[in-house]
Amino acid sequence: MISPNDYEIILASSSPRRQDFFKSLNIPFTIKTYPVDEAFPTDLKGKNIPEFIVRQKNAPFVNKIQVRQIVITADTIVWCENRYLGKPKNKKSAKEMLEFLSGKSHEVITSVGFLTSQKFEMITETTKVYFKDLTNQEIDHYIDEASPLDKAGGYGIQDWIGAIGITNIEGSYTNVVGLPLAQVKEKLSILVQEE
């Protein structure tokens, strides 16, 4: 049986949370990223947005991929009431996002690309997240004490705001953190069998 350990796994992400997830799989990997414009056409909706961005992130590797290498790219967005929420530009933007999400459900959508020397494939996972009505004091405390600026939607489910504010989720927890780990592990297992 071939294992992912027989391959060079390249994680094209500077996200410390995604890197920690890969470490937890006990699969050796290296990190390689290229600067990528994450702008997308304004007519894209929902899952089409992270899928488009993943293709953009994947593009620099297409002509460099070697046999027995797998490049993994990923992008996570928050989608609420037909509105895209990426990473907030500043604390004011983070506050506006959390005020918008307060008392509502939203979707966290992560797309993950897998590039080999033979092909490119992608999986997309959606998790529904429910926030209670957040008070201004709770939002301000979180923004002042945490680092919401590197997180889609201006929050981390693993942070304090997740512990006190999220009442329910439907789907993968790790997807909300930034990578649907079980699905990624399964896809890697399938890919190495096919190669």
With 0-12 CB in 10 A as exposed, 13-18 as middle and 19+ as buried, what is 56?
Answer: middle
CA angle 88, 140, 17 (to 5 degrees): 50
Q: Which one from 75, 144, 150, 159 is the annotated catalytic residue?
A: 75
Q: How far is CA 108 from CA 11, 21, 170, 176, 181, in A?
A: 21, 17, 10, 6, 14
Q: Is 75 a catalytic residue?
A: yes
CB distance 74 to 178 below 8 Å: yes
The catalytic residues are: 75
